A and B are shown apart, each in its own frame.
Chain A
């Protein structure tokens, strides 16, 4: 079993999607629990790449290539994972605020969160405050993540936060904000709870809230 996991971990950063899928299926057939494959294979591979990103030796493409393999393999495990307590996975809602269509950074955040076993609800781009409020009400996430890459749209963080307040939901959810033009000072100014510079740090920070 260990060799299988090791092999998965070497092939994922190379983007060998089919090979990884085959290995996952073989492991399942050999009776390795789905949870073990997820934790010790897929998620560990993501962890390794995340560490490399953090120390500067890997960049966006490497992370995405690995993540793409993870995403392709997860559906194979899902039927078996369902038996486990889905309800206990912490939920995160993520989206790009109104006025902005950039989504590459937001998608990367979503992937890193999935890699840390969060259940991620992605509400898309150019998302108005009412839609965020609705999603928070419906999914009752632990954290709502707001992304903005434009200086003109980053003011909409405040609009969302105010709307959550108004809807009486602000106390029940943490708000994380981020994107290239965002600074810790700005995050404070709009009253967000969490700011991190990148996707890896976001996933690590949110783990502390679990």
Chain B
């Protein structure tokens, strides 16, 4: 609950209270309409942005957008307004790892922009004892890394760091009593900087550089003074500002460089990181596709939460399924893939992206023309980056023997949808492997084996492709904006 006085900036006041749960994907920029709060006392008039973004029902309930009241019209009391409850998690719980029979415990932590996953490992047995997945509390400062970096320029690093560290401390309470020796941490570079309390601003502006760009250890007490046992925090190193240690650890877990095969790995999250291993060299890049595949930036988009429309079918009329069969609350990434695929096959959507009529499933699940356009941008950037990478390595697509799909979203996406929409080349059909959270898996393996040489080897052999200013990328980006099978050889 928060008390705001008349003439205060409502958004700023709420942001100052770190215990107030709120999301602000666009960082309070009046764009996304997601920073919803409920006014319990006080009278706030309804602004245009609120009419656009909120339903009748919500307006009646007293829901408002925090960012719409820079000069608060009344003294008021607000409470968090939560729509999304449980996130389905991407689990690796069942797995065991080869161990080196070292006594003790370790924690592996993957700090994602949206979700954070942590496991407690018994080093001797190579077994996972506990697992925890939770939302990154920094969502209140923006959905993507750039918006969060922009926030640090305004309010400093400390609020973003402390909210993150406190949340981790709280969620890991169930690991208490195991006195782990080390905590191995991976994540995208921005998350790593914010976790360690290092200024991330150099990542947000050309020429996009990391300050924290090597392997680093910190005493546990430095970040977590409340945990009394001694442990060391191991911060895993990135390849570049947009290819982070999460990708490095994913590559490590697949042992991509151990065999002499041509293989690739792709993460369909917001940054669209990808890597290609060929002839002893590793090419990496990031497609900056945005969060469309995860349901971000879409009018009815939602994360993979219970109630999200996740699959559809069409025979004269639409059928659909939601996660955990709960009442519809939105559409998640795999839902969009499935809908677009079906709509294309049934002529409701043109390959050039033209949507004659909105696709209606439910008042909370509608697909409009703008959603299709957003999706086309994301799709085109992924396939263009992927083909660029192949050209750069001078190989044809069909030379790739295996393509690993990493990341939370990849877990739910169906390969046939990815191929039919041309997000990945059709030639790779039958060679796709869905990995789930490979970053966390790799971090667990590292926690056990502590073989920093393998990690450094991955980094040393990698070559980061810069797509900005690359004519070929721009050309491919245009050519692949169509929603159709990609027949590249």
Report A's interface with B, CB cutoff 8 A: 56-62, 64-65, 98-104, 125-126, 150-153, 155, 181, 183, 185-186
- Which residue of chain A lies nearest to B204 when distances are taken between CB atoms in the complex? A152
Once A152-B149, A152-B205 are accepted as A-B contacts, the answer to whether A181 and B31 lie under 8 Å apart by CB is yes
Once A101-B468, A152-B204 are accepted as A-B contacts, the answer to whether A60 and B478 lie under 8 Å apart by CB is yes
The proximity string for B residues 8-43 relative to A, scoring 1 for CB distances below 8 Å and 0 otherwise, is 000000000000000000110111000000000000
A59 touches which one: B201, B353, B477 (CB < 8 A)?
Answer: B353
- Considering the chains assembled together, what is the distance between the CA atoms of A99 and B369 in angstroms? 31
- Shortest Cβ gap from B379 to chain A (Å): 12
Q: Is the CB of A181 within 8 A of B29?
A: yes
- Shortest Cβ gap from A122 to chain B (Å): 14
- Considering the chains assembled together, what is the distance between the CA atoms of A63 and B14 in angstroms? 43
| B residues in contact with A103, CB < 8 Å | 468-469
- Considering the chains assembled together, what is the distance between the CA atoms of A98 and B207 in angstroms? 10
Q: Is the CB of A102 within 8 A of B468?
A: yes
A56 touches which one: B146, B354, B469 (CB < 8 A)?
Answer: B354
Q: Is the CB of A153 within 8 A of B468?
A: no
Report B's interface with A, CB cutoff 8 A: 26-27, 29-31, 142, 146-147, 149-150, 153, 201, 204-206, 352-354, 369, 373, 376, 468-469, 474, 477-479, 481-482
| B residues in contact with A98, CB < 8 Å | 205-206
- Considering the chains assembled together, what is the distance between the CA atoms of A185 and B205 in angstroms? 23
Q: Is the CB of A151 within 8 A of B146?
A: yes
Once A61-B479, A152-B149, A185-B30 are accepted as A-B contacts, the answer to whether A104 and B469 lie under 8 Å apart by CB is no
- Considering the chains assembled together, what is the distance between the CA atoms of A62 and B29 in angstroms? 31
16 contacts across the A-B interface (CB closer than 8 A): A56-B369, A59-B353, A61-B481, A64-B478, A99-B204, A100-B206, A101-B468, A104-B477, A125-B206, A125-B469, A150-B146, A151-B27, A151-B147, A151-B150, A152-B146, A181-B31
- Considering the chains assembled together, what is the distance between the CA atoms of A41 and B30 in angstroms? 41
- Which residue of chain B lies nearest to A184 when distances are taken between CB atoms in the complex? B30
| B residues in contact with A102, CB < 8 Å | 468
- Among all A-B residue pairs, the 10 with the closest Cβ atoms: A152-B204, A99-B205, A101-B468, A151-B150, A61-B481, A126-B206, A151-B146, A152-B150, A151-B147, A61-B478
- Shortest Cβ gap from B417 to chain A (Å): 21
A183 touches which one: B29, B204, B206 (CB < 8 A)?
Answer: B29
- Considering the chains assembled together, what is the distance between the CA atoms of A58 and B306 in angstroms? 36
- Considering the chains assembled together, what is the distance between the CA atoms of A185 and B478 in angstroms? 31
Q: Is the CB of A99 within 8 A of B206?
A: yes
Q: Is the CB of A101 within 8 A of B206?
A: yes
| B residues in contact with A151, CB < 8 Å | 27, 29, 142, 146-147, 149-150
| A residues in contact with B468, CB < 8 Å | 101-103, 125
| B residues in contact with A185, CB < 8 Å | 30
| B residues in contact with A58, CB < 8 Å | 352
Q: Is the CB of B352 within 8 A of A59?
A: yes
Q: Is the CB of B481 within 8 A of A59?
A: yes
- Considering the chains assembled together, what is the distance between the CA atoms of A17 and B324 in angstroms? 53
- Considering the chains assembled together, what is the distance between the CA atoms of A58 and B142 in angstroms? 31
